[in-house]
Amino acid sequence: MKTQSRLEKVLASGALAVTSEVGPPRGAIPEKVKEKASLIKDHVDAINVTDNQTAMVRMSSWAAGVIIKQMGLDPILQMVTRDRNRLAMQSDIIGAYSMGINTMMCLSGDHVKFGDHPMANGVFDLDSIQLVQAVRKMRDEGKFQGGADIKSPPKMFIGAAANPFADPFELRVMRLAKKIKAGADFIQTQCIFNLDKFEKYMEMVCDRGLDEQVHLLAGITPMKSAGMARYMKNKVPGMDVPDDVIKRMEGVSKEEQPEEGIKIAIESIERLKKVKGVHGFHIMAIEWEEKVPQIVEKAGLFPRPVV
Amino acid sequence: MTLQTKLSKGDLVVLVEMNTPKGVDISDLVTNARHLKSRIDAVVIPDMDNGVMHMSALAGGAIMRQQGMEPMIHIYGRDRNRMALQGDMLAAHVLGIHNLLVVQGENIAHGDHQNAKPVDDLNELDLLVMVHSLLKGTDLAGFELKGKPEFFTGYQVQPIQDDDHLEEEIKTTKAKVDAGAQYIMVPPVFDIDYYIQILNKFKSLNVPVIATVFMLKNVGMARYISINDPGSKLPESLITRIRKAKDRETECIRIAGEMIKELKSQVAGIKISASGWEDRLPAILDCAGL
Amino acid sequence: MENFEPEIVAFCCHYCAYTAADMAGSKRIAYPPNVKIIRVPCTGKVDAIHIMKAFEKGADGVYVAGCLEGDCHFKNGNTRAKYRVEQVQKYLTDLGWEKDRVAMINMSAGMGEFFASTALEFTQNIKQLGPSPIKHFNTDGHQTAVS
Amino acid sequence: MITAEQKPLKEIIEYISPYDRILLVGCNECVTVCAAGGRKEVGLLASALNLHSLKQGRTIDIKEITLERQCDPEYVEELVSEIDRADAILSMACGCGVQTIAERYKEKPVFPAVNTKFMGASQSQGIWVERCQGCGDCLLGITGGICPVARCSKHLLNGPCGGTSDGKCEIAPDVDCAWCLIWERLKALGMEKRYEEIMEAKDFRPAGGGGPRKIIREDLSL
Amino acid sequence: MQKLKNIQHDKSNDRSVLVIGGGVGGIRAALDLAESRRNVILIDKSYSIGGLMTQLDRTFPTNNCDLCTVSPHLSENTRQIHLDLQPMTQLEELTGEAGNFTATLVTEPRYIDINKCTACGECHKYFPEAVRFTPGLDPRAPTCMRYPQATPYAFSIDMEKVTDIKALQKACKADAIIPDDVQKKTTVEAASVILSVGAKLFDPAVLDNFGGGLFDNVVTGLEYERIMSASGPFQGDLVRVSDKKRPKKVAWIQCVGSRGINKADVPYCSGVCCMYALKEAIVTKERFAESIETTIFYMDMRTYGKDYELYYNRAKNDYGIRMIRCRPHSIVEDYKTKDLSITYAVEEEALTKTEEFDMVVLSTGFRVGQTSIDLMARLGIQLNPHNFAETDHFNSVKTSRPGVYVCGVIESPKDIPETMVQASAAASMAATDLPAITDIPEIENDFMPERDVSKEEPRIGVFICDCGLEIGGVVDVDKMVEFAETRAHVVVSQAVGYGCSSDSMSMIEASVKTNNLNRVVIGGCSPRTHETKFQDLMRRTGLNKYLVEIVNLRDQNTWAHMGQPKEALDKAYKLLGIGINGVRKSRSLTDQTLPMNQNALVVGGGVTGMTAALQLARQGIKVYLVERNPGLGGLAKSIRKTIEGDDVGPFMNQLIDDVSAHENVQVLTRSIIVDHSGIPGRFKTGIQTGPRMNYMQLDHGVTVLATGALPNRPDVYGLGTHDNIIDQLELDAVIEDNPEKIKAVNNVVMIQCAGSREPDNPNCSRICCQAAMKNALRIKAINPDAQIFILYRDIRTYGFQEDYYREARNLDVKFIRFSADNKPEVKIENDRVSVFVDDIILGRKIQIETNCLALSTGMIADDENTEDLSMMFHLPRTQDHYFLEDHVKLRPVDMSVRGIFIAGTVHSPKTIQESITQAHAAAGRAQTLLAKKEINLGAAVAKVDGSKCAACLICVRACPFSIPFINEDGYSQIDPAKCQGCGVCAADCPAKAIQLLAYEDDQIMAKLDGLFGGIN
């Protein structure tokens, strides 16, 4: 075991891991964090706490993470390289670790253009791979980026993201390899709707033997409506929603669409369970956290193992 | 990657047709080719196309090779006997020209040297036999060659006049495939749906099918084709479309581009013929998203 | 304001608009004498500065008249002129002037009537807009450019 | 070249409104080439400013002059004969030119008439695109001749983010994803392996992180 | 003062063409030949050339005063090398044969040395009697010019009427009087002869019913022209002869002396009177007063020319000119008021009416005078029954004597454009008797060396024309002169009358020299028409031709603002200000030249295209003949017979054989034009040719467009729905191929104007009336019992076609008129075709059952094709899609783009013979260009100042012709020989490093300053 991370333990046990996420509120409302986290507390192994998601200002992820930690749950600290330079990021990491947070995700983050501060300067002092590398260096070598030793290095279980669907497709596996090489212990993927393509991707992942080197959690998002499906297809960069999925959503009445979306999510999990290299699921129920337990249960992932 | 390997892998190939000059000034040929270098797979060099005397395709192919591009040259039996043809084929190999397209030479009466004497020593089938023989290292007289040439040889289908003719043409083409044609090139049809039907029929011959997109240039030319070549099914709506366009030339480029877009998923390759307007080929490729 | 007679400069291309103006004359089609033509080989020659300077020197309105679109003797001089006119319109807007004091007009050599009717229309438009903002009325009713 | 774009007229007018005699200085280098501050633009701006002041019922005296290069003191020296007859200087050069003038003529206010934009290349007539951010440590040799620092919206050094679709950047459909371009280029060059190497965190000192940069060529300096 | 230059005949090309008659036709023919570097002797029996046209006031359809448009043609310096003008000269005898004639010429004494005469007019002050100036109206001086721009510009004396020679000699300050001047006889060698003596106008004095010659206020059409003319007896004021008062009611009576009703009449139609009556009526309203009532009494309105129907419609609808279809019986004059009353029958109401008019104009037509008949006898050429020159039915300029050609009205009645066409055709034919054009070497112009004025202070001369009343009648020329005087650097400012007349030109020339001027401003008409002329003047004075500025005071000022003289004067000041300021900044410039490509491209392989191609080929010119169909022949191939009875087939076959066999003609059938570029003299045209559309580029110097029109197939009167309903073309074939069928018909009905003179095809198709006559007469010949009904709106058998109309009437062909709003109806019942028509004369509807209904469908423009070509060649078209020539009167086969000519039915509908004539004309005009070895590109080219250039590439990218490049010195370079002079680069250059010469920025700024009263 590299860390004390519960997620690491679940994964090491060979069980399929389940994670989900909580978006911190846009205000000093700790209750909101607690409320969201308690909705899913029994059904997941760890909870991602997003970092100024969609480039909108929110409560800082490590603060929200601490609240969740204080609830006795296991937060995954997300950190984007957009908002902080390497000094700030390293200081936040040791700060979070000091508060008991031992699992994190390294991301580059959505571009400021999309958020509520388009006039802000994106920092991007490091990119996501360099951040993975930096966290690993802190943990394994006990060194800061500047080369100085860390007294009591943070032992973080390091996650990174992968989008199997963005262009160029052939680069996707190589990029995953790069993240693993940089030190990623687990990977959470972008929401998967095009299962065929994802399976092809996983084949390539396995061909390179990467499934042996990393734990990959497949991203699952239940869709509330056909409108949302279309939106994801057309407006969200790097998202691949096949037409038959949209057709399927459109094929049922408006009232039945949420149910259909959940059905699709469950079917996806069922199918992906069989895919080699998939070690768990990351369920992103955007503003729909209350449905996570239902999905987890119906997909046969409940109860969660105790480690 | 050579044309042959690309076709065998199932990748779409894009070819353009470029005529050699009537004269020795090759600057336009070279310039036009350079502008297309990275965007196409091969340049088709007709040999005295339509019976009009030009610099020989062999030289055109060699020039393309010098420019680092892959040439494909026309061969036919109208102007040369089996001696000249075999000699030229050996030369072609040595000059780096490995793609051949067997075509039917246009009637001399339609060309610019109407008093010339047609040779017609070999017909299209004979030509394929001849190529086959050379590939095996033997000439048509049965003598062994010192060193075997390598060719990738195709057959140019005749313009389709009507459905009956189509059936007949498929038969003759099949004979060519049996004789060794490794791909076939189908002449242009302007009604896309109808063209796709035709192309599909040729696909049954199990060799790569290359479609031809012929660039219209103005209403007069479209009208001429619609009247004189009913088999090319040029719809009246296309003429109206050009007439109504604010910039007719751009519209013609767009039409060619759109045809390519529609065809590219249906065939193994596309040959674009701009017939003298080779400087517009990059624009056509842009419109076609190639 | 009623007796305000605007001074209008028309940059006309030799091949179309200038010929159309001659044609209007030879057909004796009247149009306002306010329009004064400066001949250019092609409207593509008309620089934004020429238009700006015309205003600076006292023009109340300026238009550039070239061949019909797609019919330029020099391929696309008239479309370039159109963009330059738009550039000046932007300048004028930024300066708080009416952008309609400058216009691009297209006509063929044979359109004498059109030349006259546009000259009339443009003159009327400028009359509506009143004198150029740089002109000030003196007490005797004459306008002078302050320069 | 350094690219620039004329400032909104309103802003320029505000700058110069207190003055009657303006020296309007263009530059015959980059800003001419990017059509922001050459002789022609100088003429147009002068004309626009004249129109504005005439509308106000006053006249201003604008002297137009275009220097060979505004970022060289020797050329800037050419303004000496004009400087006394001006209340203010309006420069249409890039920030370097404006500062060179300001440094030389300390007694006169100098105002920029253009916004200096970026180091760019001309893509086609009338379109200029950013190509270099002067990071001081050129990576082009390993990125197939395409700069991720200047052309990736997130300056990513290790590959495209997850927002790429159809080879375009997530920020706008008309922006090419730099990493897609790099990848295509590396493939074409047979240098795919390059991509797999992790590019270490960049040292930002040569990029200006260490304060205003300077190049000293001792062999040339006097 | 203008001198008649002594001709230095080029030795290797010493055979000339003798042109007899100096009217517009003769002048056009002579100039075409001279421009093609052929030597020409132009003789005219009058003392100055110009003929009838110079007496006209304005000509339709532009209603221009055409004096000024003709006059630039008369005195272009460069042409004088080849043109020998001999006024007061007649042909006495012509011996020899084509290629080798000897002509004996007799020149009458002028009694004035034209090299000395300054045309000051002193002599006529002292001897104002005797010589008539204007026919019938204006007795004037013995030494008198017929119009202000007379050529040669000198007086002449009728010595018989001079009483005191000494006094006359004394009066002449120039010492130009030669009292003992005698008749001279000379012989000249000529390869061919062109006869262009025109015809006389009918003198209505012989008609007692119209009081011609007796009543003051009854005038002929020509007299009416003179009355309205600025150079006429009343200085351009329209007044009655009797009391000099403005008439309120004017009537025109058509066909006076023509179309054979009265005993003195000729049987043919004079062809032009309908149009000139319409024109006079319109001009009356336009120029004098809207309120003048104008009425035209006519039999058939024969507006059969190009766009003439539209002019007719305008006259009726826009000007409210009253049209009465009736031939008035007589005119009666009130002896006191001199008012006139006309009695006429109203057709529809079957009653007579009498109406009062202030003035009556008799539209008199042409007839051949005895002197012309004698001359033709001396020339040994045959006459037709009407005493006009008999010509070949397939070549209207070829007479019975080889080598002698005719043009203009002496061949048949015709208007100015047709005369111009025939003149060019005759010139082209005459040239075939000379060595091929390609064999003639070029002679250099030798102007004096140019003076360098770059270091001089500007010294500007301003010369302002009054142009008769055209300028001076609206604005005060003296005031303009005063205004110009006050401008800086203006040394001379003066009025010059007709600035383009030779005396004014000489005066300006002299002024430039005496005042040491270095810049000139001419205030006059449009630089488009007159710039070259004044540029030549500059060159003669030793100044660069770009140091003159033409201020357009007429076309763009007085013509447009005639109703606002005050404002027009103010505008004139400003325009002069622009001109003076502009010229001050003018610089000496050098023209760029390129070698001429001497190939021709002929588009269209019909009768017209083939004729043009062959004509050019025979002059040694390489011709590409491009035809879109598989074979040559065009529409004419489907016509069997002409109205004269000639077989078209054999003629066409011969033509096709000749064209195909000619070594200089490259026939390209199945060929479509797809692109076109270049400049006149160096065109490049791309074609797709052959069954497989092979692309080819042709290099050529000129283009002749002869793509023809289409036979109209309108969906009217059941055409195409029944076998017995056919068009005239089909009928023509039936008559020829199946006479049995014709023998079986009983009732034949022809409906005229089927699909013509309709809103969607507004013009007259011109050919249908004669086609109907032709076919009717042929049916009658086969089947004399056949009843033939021709349903018509107006019968338009112009010229000698009237003979066939008369013959048809004599053979009892029934003519039934209908109006546009009450057309015949065709009904098919039980497979039988019936036509219902309102007979206006009978006043009831009649039914005709027919087994042959022939529709006269005429022609329609090939819209799709002319549209395509107009886009590629940048050519204008008419509303009904025919090509629009450069000048509808004077340049009928030239297009606005130099080097492009049109001929045949692509111009407008016409017969085979007319198409052939136009083909010859186009070939002739093309030769004027091809004869030059060099193309002048002018001086307006872009020039780069390398020291300012930032090498930004903007010009390289902006140039529409890709001419600029960055040279090895690192700045943009523009090849002046390739630059087209549009100025796009100059306007786009961000460093202001490029200037377009002749349109430099400082010149444009100076012009703006001039407009706004500033000095620069």
Q: Which of chain E's residues have a Cβ under 8 Å away from the Cβ of C70?
A: 871
Whole-angstrom CA distances from E173 to A63, E153, E176, E177 are 117, 16, 8, 10
Partners of residue E748 on adjacent β-strands:
E788, E852
**Distance from CA of residue E748 to its chain's centroid?**
40
Among the residue ranges A121-135, E55-69, E948-962, the one predicted with the least confidence is: E55-69
- The predicted structure's pLDDT at residue C146: 40
Asked whether residue D76 is domain-assigned, the answer is yes
Cβ contact, residue pair B106, E670, below 8 Å: no
| Per-residue pLDDT band at D122 (split at 50, 70, 90) | very high
Q: Does E7 lie at the interface with B, CB-CB under 8 angstroms? A: no
Q: How close, in Å, is residue B248 to chain C by CA atoms? A: 10
Q: Are C49 and E555 inside 8 Å of each other by CB?
A: no
- Test mutation, A84, A89, A111, chain D, max D CBs within 10 A: A111
Q: Both E396 and E312 in a single domain?
A: no
**Domain CATH code at residue E476:** 3.40.50
Q: The CATH number of the domain where D70 resides is what?
A: 3.40.50.2300
Which numeric CATH code is attached to C8-145?
3.40.50
- One-letter amino acid at A242 equals P
Q: Say if residue E960 is preceded by a cis peptide, omega within 30 of 0.
A: no
What's the Cα-to-Cα distance from E521 to each of C99, E67, E478, E670, E945, rounded to whole Å? 35, 22, 16, 54, 29
Q: β-strand E184-195 against E665-668: which pairing, if any?
A: unpaired
Is the pLDDT score of E60 beyond 50? no
Sign, CA torsion E147/E151/E156/E158: negative
Quote the strand ranges of B52-97, DSSP E: 71-75
* For residues B43-71, average pLDDT: 93
Q: Which two tokens stand for residue A206?
A: 């396995």
How confident is residue E73, by pLDDT bands cut at 50, 70 and 90? Answer: very low
Whether E25 maps to a domain, the answer reads yes
Range scoring the smallest mean pLDDT among B280-289, E48-57, E434-443: E48-57
| Residues 17-36 in B contacting E (C-alpha not used; CB under 8 Å) | 19, 22
Q: What does the alpha-carbon distance between residue D32 and residue D40 come to, in Å, rounded to a whole number?
A: 8
Domain A6-298 adopts which CATH fold? TIM Barrel (3.20.20)
Q: Do A174 and D160 touch (CB under 8 A)?
A: no
Same domain for E414 and E475?
no
Tokens of E1003: 């010149």
Q: Is residue E884 part of a domain?
A: yes
| 3-state secondary structure at position E697 | strand
Task: Please provide the average confidence, as pLDDT, over all residues in chain E.
Answer: 87
| Residue burial E880-915, b: 16+ Cβ < 10 Å; e: rest | bbbbbbbbbbbbbbbbbbebbbbbbbbbbbbbbbbb
Judging contacts by C-beta atoms under 8 Å, the chain C residues touching residue D57 are 136, 146
pLDDT surpassing 60 at residue E52: no
* Same-domain check for residues E353 and E215: yes
Q: Does E900 lie in the same domain as E821?
A: no
CB of D35 less than 8 A from some CB of E: yes
Check pLDDT > 90 for residue E1016: no
Same domain, yes or no: E223 and E350:
yes
Confirm if E713 and E857 have CB atoms less than 8 A apart: yes
Which of D9, D55, D59 shows the shortest C-beta gap to C91? Answer: D9
**Does any CB of chain E come closer than 8 Å to the CB of residue D38?**
yes
A126/D164 Cβ within 8 A: no
Q: Give the nearest partner residue to E1009 out of C47, C57, C73, using CB atoms.
A: C57
Strand partners for E139: E132
Q: In whole angstroms, what is the distance from residue B47 CA to residue E527 CA?
A: 54
State the Cα–Cα distance between residues E346 and E22, nearest whole angstrom.
44
Q: How far is CA E567 from CA C55, E3, E561, E605, E700, in A?
A: 21, 40, 8, 54, 49
Q: Is residue D63 part of a domain?
A: yes
Instruction: Give the integer Cα–Cα distance in Å for E86 and E105.
Output: 10
Residues 77-116 of C with CB under 8 A from E: 77, 80, 84, 108-110, 116
pLDDT in tens, E95-145: 999 999 999 999 988 888 776 665 555 666 667 653 333 333 333 333 333
Measured in degrees and rounded to the nearest 5, phi and psi for residue A192 equal: -110, 120
Chain C residues with CB-CB distance to D under 8 A? Answer: 47-49, 52-53, 55-56, 91-92, 94-97, 133-134, 136, 145-147
Beta-carbon separation of E686 and B276 below 8 A: yes
C69: chain B residues, CB-CB within 8 Å: 246
Q: Does D10 share its domain with D61?
A: yes
Q: Measure the CA–CA gap between D72 and D52, rounded to whole angstroms.
A: 32
At D2 the pLDDT is 96
Q: What average pLDDT does this structure show over E455-472?
A: 90
| Chains E, C in contact, 3 or more Cβ pairs below 8 Å | yes
Map tokens 């036979």 to a residue.
Answer: E711
* pLDDT category of residue E31 using cuts at 50, 70 and 90: confident
Judged by a CB distance cut-off of 8 A, whether residue A129 touches chain D is yes
Handedness of CA E117, E123, E127, E131 (dihedral sign): positive
Residue D129 forms contact with E (CB below 8 Å): no
Which residues of chain A register pLDDT less than 70? none
For chain D, the domain total comes to 2
Rounded to whole angstroms, the Cα distance separating A37 from A33 reads 6
Per-position b or e across E200-234, b if 16+ CB within 10 A of its CB: bbbbbeebeebbbeebebbbbbbbbbbbbbbbbbb
Q: Could you give the number of structural domains in chain E?
A: 7
Strand bridging mode D61-67 / D110-112: unpaired
Spatial distance between the Cα atoms of E452 and E447, rounded to a whole number of angstroms? 15
- DSSP annotation of A149 reads B
Q: Do D201 and A129 touch (CB under 8 A)?
A: no
Q: In Å, how far is E690's CA from the nearest CA of chain B?
A: 6
Instruction: Render E706-758 in DSSP notation, one character per residue.
Output: ---EEE---S-TTTTTSTTEEEHHHHHHHHHH-HHHHHH--EEEEETTTTSSB
pLDDT in tens, B207-258: 999 999 999 999 999 999 999 999 999 999 999 999 999 889 999 999 999 9
Domain enclosing residue D44, as ranges: 2-118
Contact E706, E698 (CB under 8 A): no
Q: Exposed, middle or buried by CB within 10 Å (0-12, 13-18, 19+), for C1?
A: exposed
Distance CA E510, CA E90 (A): 34
Give the range among A44-48, E175-179, E504-508 with minimum mean pLDDT. E175-179
Question: Would you state the pLDDT for residue E230?
Answer: 62
As for how many domains chain B has, the answer is 1
Q: How far apart are CA D125 and CA D141, in angstroms?
A: 28
Q: Which chains touch E (3 or more CB pairs under 8 A)?
A: B, C, D
For chain D, positions 148-207, list CB contacts with chain A under 8 A.
153-167, 170-171, 177, 179-180, 183-184, 195-196, 198-202, 204
Q: How far, in Å, CA of A52 to CA of A61, rounded?
A: 8
Q: Does E989 touch chain D (CB under 8 A)?
A: yes
Q: For residue E870, give the chain C residue with the closest CA.
A: C71
Considering only CB atoms, which chain B residues are within 8 Å of E672? 218, 220-221, 224
State the average pLDDT over residues D183-202: 90
Q: Is chain A adjacent to chain C, meaning 3+ CB pairs within 8 angstroms?
A: no
- Does D96 share its domain with D142? no
How crowded is residue E134: how many other Cβ atoms within 10 Å of its Cβ?
Answer: 20
Distance from CA of E576 to the nearest CA of D (A): 25
Instruction: Give the dihedral sign, CA E724/E725/E729/E730.
Output: negative
Instruction: Report whether pLDDT(E69) > 80.
Output: no
Cis amide linkage into residue E152, ω under 30° from 0: yes
Asked whether the predicted pLDDT for residue B16 surpasses 80, the reply is yes
Over residues D65-79, the pLDDT tens digits come to 999 999 999 999 999
E901 sits in the region (left: phi over 0; alpha: psi -120 to 50; else beta) called beta
Q: In this complex, is the C-beta atom of B113 within 8 Å of any C-beta atom belonging to chain E?
A: no
| Integer Cα distance of B212 and B202 in angstroms | 13
| Same domain (yes/no): E361, E372 | no
CA distances from E21 to C83, E24, E102, E750 (A): 55, 9, 18, 43
Q: Which residues of C touch E287 (CB under 8 A)?
A: 28
Token pair of B263 as six digits: 């065809």
Please report which confidence band the pLDDT of residue E631 belongs to, taking 50, 70 and 90 as the band edges.
very high
Cβ contact E991–D28 (<8 Å): yes
Contact between chains at A167 and D167 (C-beta distance less than 8 A): yes
What 3-state DSSP class applies to B158? coil
The phi-psi region of residue E419 (left if phi > 0; otherwise alpha if psi is between -120 and 50; otherwise beta) is alpha
pLDDT digits over C61-112, tens only?
999 999 888 778 788 899 999 999 999 999 999 999 999 999 999 998 778 8
Contact B275 E694 (CB under 8 A): yes
Q: Which two tokens stand for residue C134?
A: 């740089």
pLDDT over 60 at E237, yes or no: yes
CATH code, domain with B270: 3.20.20.220
| Orientation of helix D9-16 relative to helix C77-94, angle to 10° | 50
* pLDDT of the residue at E498: 81
pLDDT over threshold 70, residue E78 = no
Select from E674, E867, E869 the Cβ nearest to the Cβ of B217.
E674
Contact between E992 and D40 using a beta-carbon 8 Å cutoff:
yes
Q: What are phi and psi of E681, to 5 degrees?
A: 95, -20
Same-domain check for residues D112 and D15:
yes
How deeply is E77 buried, as exposed, middle or buried, from its count of CB atoms within 10 A (0-12, 13-18, 19+)? middle
Search chain E and give the residue with CA nearest B275: E695
The residue in chain E having the minimum alpha-carbon distance to the alpha carbon of residue C59 is E1012
Interchain proximity B224–E670, CB inside 8 Å = yes
Contacts of B22 in chain E (CB under 8 A): 696
Q: Could you tell me what percent of chain E has a pLDDT over 90?
A: 63
B246/B237 Cα distance (integer angstroms)? 16
Which candidate in D139, D146, D152, D155 is best for mutational testing of the A interface (most A CBs within 10 A)? D155
CB E286 within 8 A of CB E778: no
Which residue does chain C place closest to D39, by CA atoms? C49
E2 in Cβ contact with E506 (< 8 Å): yes
Confirm or reject contact between C71 and chain E (CB < 8 A): yes
Any idea which residue has 């052959």 for tokens? E690
E693 touches chain B (CB under 8 A): yes
Closest chain B residue by Cα to residue C68? B246
Q: Which residues of chain C are within 8 Å of residue B249 when distances are taken between CB atoms?
A: none
Per-residue tokens: E53? 């046209």
Does residue E11 surpass a pLDDT of 60?
A: no
Q: What pLDDT is recorded for position E226? A: 81
Alpha carbons B201 and B163: distance in angstroms, whole number: 11
Contact E543, E453 (CB under 8 A): yes
Domain containing residue E474:
460-587
**Domain coverage including residue B207:** 3-288
List chain A domain ranges. 6-298
- Closest CB to B50: pick one of E690, E867, E871: E690
